[in-house]
Amino acid sequence: MPSRDVLSDVLSEEVVSFVRRKFDVVGVVVAIGRFAGGTSGTQIVSGPSAPEADEDTLFEVGSLTKPITAMILASLVRGGDVALEMPISELLADGVRAPSKDGRQITLLDLATHRSGLPRLPPNLGWSALVSDDPYKNYTREKLLQCVDKNPLRTTPGKKFEYSNLGYGLLGTLLADRRDTSYAQLAREHVFAPLGMTRTRADYADDFRLIRGHSIRGSPCNPWHLGSLEGAGVVRSSVRDMLRFVEMNLLASTTPANASPLAKILAVTHTPRLDAAGDNRIGLAWLTTPRGNVWHNGGTGGYRSFMGFSPERGEAVVVLANLATGAVDTLGWHLLDARNSL
């Protein structure tokens, strides 16, 4: 059982007051994990009438899936299955046109760094899906490939950062196709099993074990199903497993040249490569701030998540909640670096 002592120095009266104010909603649970000084710890904070929860309780983690997809990509690159500069035309099904602009095709690196020219959401998703409580459920593989084939790019690939769930969904699908398997199996083989993330899944077999999500207004929500966009946000995980994931990324960021193959795969994903939104730099999914903090966040209809680590201080933080509120990000940033106010 991880120690909670590592959290005592950051769970100040100000932090406790913030959590009580922002998450005092019927049925809501906040799961906090921290690694510092070589020790990890977790804390569960429950609102009124919240279900029983612990460090193994499952949450939808939304876009925290993207660094997992990035790790799959880095692993397949190391294994020689693909290359970062490989055009997606080499991976698309026969008869599907690879979009291009100004003579430039999309590469796997473009998808992984949000520079593909693809929009945030699929243009053929449909209005009914956008107002649905499970918007991607019926977004099939056929619709994804039709979207890629028929829609012109917004910008030249490689030129401009534009966050794209469509791009990461496509990336996950292409990598699974390359290995003739499912995204869920790729995630188990290349991420969950090697890192010991025993509770984490990239499928829907554990829907019944999910803690119930809540909208930003506090209304109960149904789980999301990602259709063919699994690589963008399908993962369900616990604070224990996600802390393990971010802790291993932290340790990989400071490992020597003779590090293990697994550490080298992880290090590739968060090494900054290109400019991203604001003052951030992006690696493969992971974002890095000017202060050197490495992070990602996520959200679905009824959940919000944040994870980050500081190679300089040797600390890592995870916050998961079954409430779709940006207060999770505010809390996560403060726990990672107290210079970020609540």
* pLDDT at 80 > cutoff 70: yes
- Global model pTM greater than 0.85: yes
**What H or E segment, with its residue span, contains residue 220?**
strand 220-221
Query: What are the phi and psi torsion angles at 128 (to 5°)?
Result: -65, -35
Is the pLDDT assigned to residue 8 strictly greater than 90? no
52-79 pLDDT per residue, tens = 999 999 999 999 999 999 999 999 999 9
DSSP lists the bridge partners of residue 307 as 296, 318
Mean pLDDT for the chain overall? 93
In whole angstroms, give the CA distance from residue 234 to residue 62: 6
Contact 250, 186 (CB under 8 A): no
Other residues' Cβ atoms within 10 Å of the Cβ of residue 216: 16
Task: State residue 335's pLDDT score.
Answer: 94
Nearest 5 degrees, angle CA 88-CA 62-CA 81? 30
Output the CA–CA distances (angstroms, integers) from residue 131 to 9, 134, 136, 144, in the order listed. 42, 9, 11, 19
Residues 133-169 have pLDDT tens digits of 899 999 999 999 999 999 899 899 999 999 999 999 9
CA 4 to chain centre: 25
200: left (phi over 0), alpha (psi -120 to 50) or beta: beta
Tokens 């039709």 sit at which residue?
146
SS3 category, 213: strand
* CATH 3.30.410.10 applies to domain 5-24+60-336: no
Backbone CA torsion sign across 59, 239, 309, 197: negative
35's tokens: 């690694």
DSSP 161: -
Give which of 269, 262, 303 is closest to 285, Cα–Cα.
269
- Which residues pair with residue 90 across a beta bridge? none
- Sequence-ordered strand ranges (E) for 62-186: 100-101, 104-105
Residue 1 pLDDT more than 60?
no
Residue 3's pLDDT band, with cuts at 50, 70 and 90, is very low
Q: Can you tell me which residue has the tokens 């994804």?
A: 144
9's tokens: 């120095």
- How confident is the model over 214-250, as pLDDT tens digits? 999 999 999 999 999 999 999 999 999 999 999 999 9
3-state DSSP assignment of residue 12: coil
The band of 126, judged by pLDDT with boundaries at 50, 70 and 90, is confident
Cα–Cα distance for residue pair 37/31, rounded to 1 Å: 20
- For the chain, the farthest-separated pair of C-alpha atoms sits apart, in whole angstroms, at 60
pLDDT tens string 162-194: 999 999 999 999 999 999 999 999 999 999 999
Start-end of H helices in 191-285: 193-195, 230-233, 239-252, 261-270
Of the candidates 37, 43, 29, 47, which has an alpha carbon nearest to the alpha carbon of residue 1? Answer: 43
Minimal CA–CA distance to 301: which of 25, 2, 59? Answer: 59
| pLDDT (mean) for 37-65 | 92
Instruction: Say if residues 189 and 195 touch (Cβ distance below 8 Å).
Output: no
| C-beta separation of 294 from 253 below 8 A | yes
Six-digit token pair at 154?
Answer: 């917004």
Distances (CA, A) of 328 to 12, 13, 61, 202: 16, 17, 12, 22
